[in-house]
Each structure stands twice: as structure tokens, then as C-alpha cells.
Amino acid sequence: MNSDYKDKRIKKNSQLSSFRLAFLGICSAFMKERNLRIHFCLMAIVVILGFFCHISLHEWMFIFIAIGLVISMELMNTALERVVDLVTKEYHPLAKQAKDIAAGAVLFSAIIALLIGIIIILPKLLDLYIY
């Protein structure tokens, strides 16, 4: 289903409108979700450390894949939470389970990203401070 039905100012099925609405979705999530802002701050720190440590092109690829995975999972978690909240405002064990599983996916991707960061950046930081 195309989500541009909500914005009548944009021509239907326009490729540009799809990108615009996707960007608005990211901005909306960024403004409303504290955890997403935390992930973006950590991303900035990792990128700065990557430049500081002169990581290789292949290492950058792993870093950006990890960052992309975490940010994507956080956005999917946010979307799932919104849908569950739309469907029911009352407590339901399946709604809780869906939200918990989505949050677990974010946590799992964040742990993998942390391990990738440690494997790539920590030895380079230690080399800088030891020598």
C-alpha cells in the first residue's frame, strides 16, 4: 500500500514523493523516539572514531552495515509499536509480546554492532595510546 495517500499535495505514485515521505518518517521517528536519537549520537561517535583511527575501506563497510542494521531495526521497532498501539490501547499479551520481540531485535542488532565496533576500533585505539 502506498503511503502518500495522506499528502494530497504530492502526485500519486511519484518516486520523489516516496523518498520525501520516507525521509519525513525518519525525521518523525527521530523527533519522537529517544532511543533513535541515542543510536544516531552513537553513530556519530563511531564515525568520528573511525576517522581518528584511520580505519580501512573494508572496515568502513562493516561499520556502515552495522549502523544501517541498528537504525533500520529501530525504525521497524517504532513502526511496529505504532501499529500495535493503533490496533489496541488495552493491554494484550500478544501486543506486549510483539513489542518485546521487536525491541529484542533492536537489542540483538545493537550488540552485534557493538562487537563489530570493538573488533575494528578498540585495537586501533589501543595502538594509538600504547605507542
Closest by CA to 72, choosing from 83, 80, 61, 82, is: 80
Residue 59 marked ligand-binding: no
Q: Is 81 annotated as a binding residue?
A: yes
Query: What cell does 81 get?
Result: 509499536
Catalytic residue status for 59? no
Q: Does 33 show up as a binding residue in the annotation?
A: yes
- Is 54 annotated as contributing to ligand binding? no
Produce one character per residue of 91-124: b if its CB has 16 or more CB atoms within 10 Å, e if not: eeeebeebeeebbebbeebbeebeebbeebbeee
Among 66, 74, 113, 116, the active-site one is 74
Tell me the catalytic residues.
74
Known binding residues for substrate are 74
Which residues carry a binding-site annotation?
33, 74, 81, 90-92, 99-100
Q: Which residues are annotated as a binding site for ATP?
A: 33, 81, 90-92, 99-100
